Amino acid sequence: MFKYSDVHKVIYPRRHEGIYKNRGDNPWVSVRIRQGVGRDPSKWFSNQLRVIAEVSRTYSDGRVMLGTRGDVEVFKVDFRLFNEVAARLKEAGLDPRDSCGNSVRNPIPCISQFCPYANINAEALSTFIGDYFRYRGEYESLPHRIKISVSACEKACAVPTAQDIGIVAKPNGKFNIYLGGGIGEHAFSAKLAFTNVDAEDLLPICVGIAEVFRRSGERRGFKWVIKLRGLDKVKEDVMAIAREVKPKLPKPPNLNPSFIKSRIINIKYPTGWVTADELVKLANVAERYGFGYVLLFNNQNAYIPVHEEVKEIKGLGNYEVRDPGPIYPEGPITVACIGSELCPPGLIDTTSLGRKIHVHLNELKEPIRIGISGCTHDCGMSWVSDIGLEPFGFKTRILVTIGGEPGQLGFIVGTVDPNDAELTVKAILGMYSKSGIHGIREFAVKIGIDAIRGELKKQVPSFQPPDNSVINIFGPE
C-alpha cells in the first residue's frame, strides 16, 4: 500500500518528469502534458487529442483537465505505470517532462497567429525559449519553478504581471521584459525591468535570469530574489551573465507575425474538466472543419480555428463562433484549479463551487473571468481574474479579490467563509450589473473598494474586511 508520506521519497525526485502526487494514500499521480520539443505549445493536433483521450480512459477515469498554462492534465495515474504513459504520449509528439517541479515551465504564448494585433509570432518565440531549457538537468532542479509568458502585443493577454519572466512584444520590433511576478501567497506584481530589448537578447536574458535564480538558492521563488536584492542589482547580475552566454546560444527563429485567416469556434469548459469523449469530438471538428488542431491558452477554453466559410458545426453542443482577436479575459468563464478532490494542499472543492458560480456568471453574459483556487498556490489565477477566490489558513477563509487584469493584480476586498463564496460572487455581480459600468476593474475603481465592502457586509454574513493576517499572508504588495 502506497503511503502519502512516501511522496518525498518516491514522487518528489521525479516531479520534473511531469508528475505530481494526487491526494491520499494511493499510488496516483497527475501527469501534466506539454507539447514535445520543437512544437508550438498552443497547438494540440487531432491525433494527440485522441491519444490523450485513450490514455485517460486506460490509465485514469476518462476525464482530463485543461490547465491554465496551455497544458492538459490526466489524473489518478498509477505512478508505477508512468513510464508506459509517457512512452505512449511521446509517440504522438507529447511530453510531460518539465511541466512540474522546479523546472522552467511551458513558456506560454498568446495565440498570436489568430490575432490581428500581433507584432510577432509569439508561438515561435515560446517554442524557441522553451526548447532551450528542456531536458537540461541544471534547469530541472532550480530552487523553485520559473514561469515565462510571451505576449505578441501590449494588450498582454499572456498575463506578464503574474510571471517570473513576462515578455511583451512592442510595435517597433523590440520587447519589454517584466520580472518577478508571482501570485498566491505573497502576491507580487511583475516589474518592468528591461525595455526595447532586441529579439536576439531575449534568450540570453532568460538564461541570465535562470542562472541568477539557480545560484541564489532562494526556495520561495525568483520574486523574492528581486525583493531582497532590489531590481537594479538583479538586472545587473542578469546582464553580466547574458553578455557572457550570448555567443554560445542559438539565434532566434524568424519571429515575423504569421496571421492565419480563420473563424474561431470557442468551447468553454467552466472549471476545466473535459471528458475523453469530448476530446475526441474536438479532434473530429478540427479535422473536418479546420486545420487539424485545437488551440489551448490560459483560460480552460478550447478554441478550434476553422475555415472562414464554415457556418455551422454539427454535433458539437454549445459553442460560440468568433473572429480572431485578443483572448483575455474572454468570459463569461469560470477558471478553477483541481482543488481538494485530488490536490494534496487543496482546501476547497473548486469544481463544485465553480460550477455553482458559473450559473450566475452565465446569466450576466459579460466577458468576466472568475478565478478559483484551492489553496494559496493560486493555480486558478485568482489574482489576475475579474473576481478571484483564494482559500487560506487553518480555519479556511477565502480571500476575495476583484479587478485583476493581465497587467495588474486585483484589489483585495476581504475574506468570507467558504460557504458564503457563491453568495459573495452573486452580490458583486449584482452590484456590477446595477452600476451600468463596463468592466470589473473600472467598476472597482469608480465605485470604490470601501463601498463594495460596505455592501458585502450587508449581504454576506461572514464577510470581513482585510486584517493583518491577510496582509501577512498575501503581502508585501
Q: In what order do the strands lie in the sheet with 175-179?
A: 108-109, 148-151, 165-169, 175-179, 191-197
Grid cell digits, residue 71:
497544458
CA pair distance 429, 443, nearest whole angstrom: 11
State the nearest-atom distance from the C-beta of 359 to ligand SF4, in Å.
22
Residues 331 to 390 in contact with ligand SF4, rule: CB under 6 A? 337-339, 343, 345-346, 373-375, 377-379
Using CB under 6 A, which of 51, 110, 129, 295 touches ligand SF4? 110
For position 157 contacting ligand SF4 by CB under 6 A, the verdict is: yes
Would you count residue 153 as binding ligand SF4 (CB under 6 A)? yes
Check binding of 159 to ligand SF4 (CB under 6 A): no
Q: Distance (Å, rounded) from C-alpha 219 to C-alpha 224?
A: 9
Residue 327 per-residue DSSP state: -
Residue among 189 and 299 whose Cβ is closer to ligand SF4: 299
| 477 burial via Cβ count (<10 Å: 0-12, 13-18, 19+) | exposed
**CA 450 from chain center: how many Å?**
30
- Whether residue 140 contacts residue 16, with contact meaning beta carbons closer than 8 Å, is answered with yes
Q: Does 32 bind ligand SF4 (CB under 6 A)?
A: no
Contact present, 81 and 66 (Cβ < 8 Å): no
By CB under 6 A, residue 156 contacts ligand SF4: yes
What is the x/- site pattern for ligand SF4, positions 292-331, by CB under 6 A? ----------------------------------xx----
| Identity of the residue, 33 or 118, whose beta carbon is nearer to ligand SF4 in the bound complex | 118
Name the residue nearer to ligand SF4 (CB basis): 208 or 346. Answer: 346
Q: To the nearest 10°, the Cα dihedral for 250, 251, 252, 253?
A: -100
Q: Which of 39, 155, 281, 397 binds ligand SF4 (CB under 6 A)?
A: 155
Q: How many residues bind ligand SF4 (CB under 6 A)?
A: 26
DSSP 8-state code for residue 438: S
| Contacts to ligand SF4 from residues 115-134, by CB under 6 A | 115, 117-118
CB nearer to ligand SF4: give 157 or 353.
157
What residues between 435 and 454 interact with ligand SF4 by CB under 6 A?
none
Stretch in the footprint of ligand SF4 (CB under 6 A) among 77-85, 151-159, 194-202, 303-311: 151-159
Sign of the C-alpha dihedral computed for residues 53, 58, 62 and 68 taken in this order: negative
Amino acid at 186: H
DSSP type of residue 325: -
Q: Which helix (H) or strand (E) is 150 found in, with range?
A: strand 148-151
CB of 337 to ligand SF4, least distance (A): 3
Nearer to ligand SF4, 252 or 344 (CB): 344
204 binds ligand SF4 (CB under 6 A): no
Residues paired with residue 54 on neighbouring β-strands, in sequence order: none
Binding interface with ligand SF4 (CB under 6 A): 110-112, 115, 117-118, 151-153, 155-157, 326-327, 337-339, 343, 345-346, 373-375, 377-379
